[in-house]
Amino acid sequence: MTDLSDERMALISILAEHSPANRIGRTQVMKFLYFLQVLRDVPLGYRFTLYSYGPFDSDVLADLANAEGLGVVDSTVIQFSGGYGYEIRPGRNADWLRERAARFLQRYRPDVDWVMEKFGSLKSGHLELVSTIVYVDREAADNGEELSLDEIAEIVHEIKPHFSHDEIMNFARWLNGQDLLEAAA
């Protein structure tokens, strides 16, 4: 476990509790933590890189597995037509770990609320898309590039061709309107 593992596991239980449905899926955990680290500068220490399903760090799932093992969260598989998902809820030992990470959780609680307000209602497929837009934007910003929204959407479309250019543009415009993109001209 990393030095931050208590804080990260406790944060996952908070995300589950404060999501609109009081439970959360695994894609949501991954993407919400990505947004917290990248858009809110919460120091989580993850190393997200891009996969076809968006920004991903296997350490998030390792933290989640550890949290399950310690009873900090409970996780069950749910079936739906044409696929499956997970429901994660706070576990019997969530409070125990939250006490150990109390200072961290208190400090970043407003950021959790912010992420929930902005992204809490998005479905998994759209979370993958929105986080990929942010990833493309930050990669360009880190390289000192300025891109138009259309250029960002075109890059994202090449990564995720199953989304239409228009659909990507809609989310890119929304993110830009929220002042969340850095490279967008």
Partner 1 sequence: MSDVHRTYEIRCPIHGFVALNDWEWNVISQPAFQRLRRIRQLAWTDYVYPGAMHTRFEHSLGVMHVATLLYRAIVKNSKSILTSELAYNDTGLERDLQLVRFAALLHDVGHGPFSHASEDLMPIGEGGKRYAHADYSVAIIRSELRQAIEEHPLNDNYRFQAEDVAALIAGGARRSKHSVFWRDVIDGQMDADRMDYLLRDSYHAGVQYGKFDLHRLVSTIRAVSYDDRAPRFGIAQGGVHAAEALVLARYFMFTQVYFHKTRVAYDIHLRGALKELLPAGHFPRPVDGELQEFLAWDDWRVLGLLSEGKGGEHGARLKTRDHYRLVFWTPEVPHENDLRQLELLKGRLGGLVVAEEAASKSWYKTGPTDIPVVDDLDETIVNPLSDHSNVVKNLESNNQVLLYARHEDVPKAEGIVEEVRENDRSK
> Which positions touch partner 1 (CB under 8 A)?
1, 26-27, 29-30, 43, 45, 47-54, 56, 58, 61-62, 64-66, 68-70, 75, 77, 79-80, 82-84, 86, 93, 96, 124-125, 128, 132, 135-136, 139-140, 155-156, 158-162
Contact (CB, 8 A) for 101 and 26:
no
Nearer to partner 1, 113 or 169 (CB): 169
Decide whether 17 or 71 has the Cβ nearer to partner 1.
71
> For residues 53 and 114, which CB has a smaller minimum distance to partner 1 in the complex?
53
Token pair recorded at residue 177: 């309107």
Query: 68 CB contacts (<8 Å, ≥6 apart)?
Result: 74, 75, 91
Could you give the CA distance from residue 83 to residue 69 in angstroms, rounded to a whole number? 25
Question: Which residue lies nearer to partner 1 by CB, 118 or 138?
Answer: 138
Structure tokens at 34: 């990505």
> Min. distance of Cβ 136 from partner 1 in angstroms?
5
Smallest distance, partner 1 to C-beta of residue 46, A: 9
Tell me the closest approach of the beta carbon of residue 41 to partner 1, in angstroms: 10
CB crowding 70-83: b at 16 or more within 10 Å, else e:
bebbbbeeeeeeee
Question: Least distance to partner 1 from the beta carbon of 114, Å?
Answer: 21
Q: Residue 19 Cβ, how far from partner 1 at the closest point, in Å?
A: 15
Question: Which run of H or E residues covers position 62?
Answer: helix 58-69
Instruction: Decide: 132 and 38 in contact? Cβ < 8 Å.
Output: no
